[in-house]
Amino acid sequence: MSRWLKDPQATYPQIESEALLKVLFAEQGTKDDLLVTLASIRQEADERRRWLASIANEISTAQGPWPFPQRAHVNFLYVSFLIEQSATIARWAKSAERQARSWPDDISEAPERDFGAKLRALVRQSSEG
């Protein structure tokens, strides 16, 4: 375990998502397909966040000692990451749904709408956090 914890490889969380692949190739399907996928992503992220929040609430209001009190501080880091990740995914999916609804039914013909400017703004915004 000690050797593994010292290994600097694989330090960034990896994401595997069939739903995100469907978003990436959405122009090959229909607008409705995309909207269903985005709604599913949002709903699952909301459900996961609520589930994690309920667990966190149960633990934080428990009478008596918390489970594994010697690990409480590292458990907090882990659970807070998962809650934030779920909230971020839900927020992104809601925004993506809003954007996709404004597209024409044939999404392969959706207008670019200042794609470059949007990317620059996103990079600026993400670096401010």
Region for 111 from its dihedrals, namely left if φ exceeds 0, alpha if ψ lies in -120 to 50, beta otherwise: beta
Rounded to two decimals, the pTM is: 0.85
Per residue in 19-45, pLDDT (tens digit) is 999 999 999 999 999 999 999 999 999
- C-alpha to C-alpha distance for 60 and 52, rounded to whole angstroms: 12
Predicted pLDDT of residue 129: 61
99-119 CB burial, b ≥16 within 10 A, e <16: ebeebeeebeebeeeeeeeee
* pLDDT, tens digit, 9 for 90 and up, residues 60-92: 787 767 777 888 889 889 999 999 999 999 999
Cα-Cα-Cα-Cα torsion 47, 50, 53, 55, nearest 10 degrees, comes to: -70
Mean pLDDT estimate for the chain: 89
Q: Is the pLDDT of residue 101 over 90?
A: yes
User: What residue type is assigned to position 45 of the chain?
Assistant: A
